[in-house]
């Protein structure tokens, strides 16, 4: 078991510096253009694939880092570059985590490579869970999956929303209801292979921030997928549903559903994304405060500005520590007895919103223009308190964990 440490080892430092260089040299120069275009930055993803950042091998190396710090370190550096472009680069990872969390070894080996493609032909993947009437309330999900025993196929019908890479992805991972009577415990996840008839892109959303990341509805109309596309397999699903039915009858302990397992695994990573955005805005504000003069001196000499910067840096470091703790706990098999994963996501997300707002304020009128990047960073930061569990949901998870109440 890896001991907890706040010091990165030499290999981790080398990877961090490599990622930082890519973020500085490739992502940042392209950030404003793709934010304005509101399109997937395929050329940047292609460059990331060429150097090995957008690849299954790189993701796996960071995911299986025994210290747990590989993924949060990578997320922080990439999102320091730009949140929208970085999300386009790492968005496939949520679908990959869905397969890793719920799939068999054969499914992992078959589908995750197809999610990324290769440096000459990059692909993206999408994880589809939220619906128009089922975001935080996963029990309200309506997308149905019905098993056709005659052909051993699952037939999917419904509409998903807020899907990163939805519709433009090759592989879609779709969460659907297989037993409505069990609520959120009657869900399962399915692979929808590339080119499957009946899957189409619905509305593409024009967003306040992270505009270089494609977000859209995914419409499923009589989508038929082979039985082997059920993540984990039917035998495992039948056993899980039987346990859930028994617990429902006896009023016993609740079990986790597939979507929640994916979100729990990814929350510290989202916290690291928020830390990266907050750090980027803080650094711009710090540099501006050192060089901007008013009344004959740099504005950092004013206590009001200096204290803001001190608070910004303190919050960023505290958020990173919470993210690292949760990531280390997950990697070493320590349970989140106090919802440490949700704590990390909650605090880092709120920190990103606060720090980027303070950065805009420190830059004054300049901060409100697109000439400086803090305006974009402030817009981007708003998403962290919303996706993969709102701040309100994180507080609910933490409170119910502390009180011993069931988390629905």
Q: Which of 131, 217, 388, 392 is catalytic?
A: 388
126 sits in which H/E element:
strand 125-128
Contact 327, 6 (CB under 8 A): no
Residue carrying structure tokens 């609910």: 396
Maximum distance among all Cα pairs of the chain, rounded to whole angstroms: 82
Query: Where are the strands (E) in 72-207, listed by range?
Result: 117-118, 121-122, 125-128, 144-148, 153-164, 171-177, 187-192, 199-204
Catalytic site residue 283?
Answer: no
Between CA 39 and CA 137 the distance in angstroms is: 30
Q: How many angstroms separate the Cα of 69 from the Cα of each of 333, 341, 357, 369? A: 14, 14, 28, 35
What count of other Cβ atoms lies within 10 Å of the Cβ of residue 221?
12
d(CA 79, CA 356): 13
CA 74 to the chain's CA centroid: 13
Please name which of 350, 363, 211, 344 lies closest in space to residue 283, comparing C-alpha atoms.
363
Q: How far apart, in whole angstroms, are the C-alpha atoms of residue 397 and residue 389?
A: 10
Separation of alpha carbons 232 and 336, rounded Å: 24
Distance CA 239, CA 232 (A): 11
- Burial environment of residue 158 by CB neighbours within 10 A (0 to 12, 13 to 18, 19 or more): buried
Query: Can you tell me the distance from the alpha carbon of 126 to that of 162, in angstroms, rounded to the nearest whole number?
Result: 10
Q: Give the burial class of 380: count Cβ atoms within 10 A of its Cβ; 0-12 exposed, 13-18 middle, 19 or more buried.
A: buried
98/158 Cα distance (integer angstroms): 19
**Any residues with CB less than 8 A from the CB of 360 and at least 6 apart, and which?**
367, 368, 374, 375, 378
Q: What amino acid positions are annotated as catalytic residues?
A: 388
């Amino acid at each position: 078991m890896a001991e907890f440490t706040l010091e990165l080892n030499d290999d981790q430092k080398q990877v961090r510096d490599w990622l930082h260089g890519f973020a500085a040299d490739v992502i940042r120069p392209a950030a404003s253009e793709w934010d304005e275009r509101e399109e997937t930055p395929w050329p940047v993803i292609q460059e990331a694939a060429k150097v090995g950042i957008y690849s299954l091998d790189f993701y796996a190396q960071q995911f299986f880092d025994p210290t747990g710090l590989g993924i949060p370190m990578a997320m922080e550096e990439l999102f320091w570059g730009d949140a929208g472009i970085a999300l386009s680069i790492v968005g496939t990872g949520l679908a990959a985590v869905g397969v890793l969390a719920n799939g068999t070894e054969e499914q992992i080996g078959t589908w995750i490579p197809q999610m990324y493609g290769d440096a000459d032909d990059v692909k993206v993947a999408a994880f589809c869970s939220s619906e128009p009437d089922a975001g935080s309330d996963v029990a309200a999900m309506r997308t149905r999956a019905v098993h056709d025993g005659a052909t051993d196929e699952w037939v999917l019908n419904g509409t998903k929303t807020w899907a990163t890479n939805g519709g433009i992805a090759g592989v879609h991972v779709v969460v659907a209801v297989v037993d409505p009577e069990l609520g959120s415990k009657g869900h399962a996840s399915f692979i929808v292979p590339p080119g499957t008839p009946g899957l189409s892109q619905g509305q593409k959303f024009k967003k306040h921030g992270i505009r270089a990341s494609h977000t859209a509805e995914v419409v499923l109309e009589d989508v038929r997928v082979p039985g082997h596309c059920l993540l984990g397999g039917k035998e495992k699903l039948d056993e899980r549903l039987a346990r859930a039915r028994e617990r429902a009858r006896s009023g016993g302990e609740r079990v986790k559903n597939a979507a929640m397992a994916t979100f729990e695994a990814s929350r510290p990573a989202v916290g690291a994304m928020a830390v990266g955005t907050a750090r980027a805005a803080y650094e711009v504000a710090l540099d501006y405060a050192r060089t901007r003069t008013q009344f004959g001196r740099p504005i950092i000499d004013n206590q009001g500005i200096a204290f803001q910067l001190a608070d910004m840096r303190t919050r960023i470091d505290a958020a990173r520590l919470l993210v690292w703790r949760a990531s280390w706990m997950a990697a070493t098999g320590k349970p989140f007895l106090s919802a440490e994963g949700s704590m990390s996501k909650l605090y880092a997300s709120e920190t990103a919103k606060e720090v980027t707002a303070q950065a805009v304020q420190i830059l004054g009128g300049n901060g409100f223009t697109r000439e400086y990047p803090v305006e974009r960073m402030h817009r981007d930061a708003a998403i962290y308190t919303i996706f993969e569990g709102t701040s309100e949901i994180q507080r609910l998870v933490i409170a119910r964990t502390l009180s011993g109440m069931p988390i629905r």
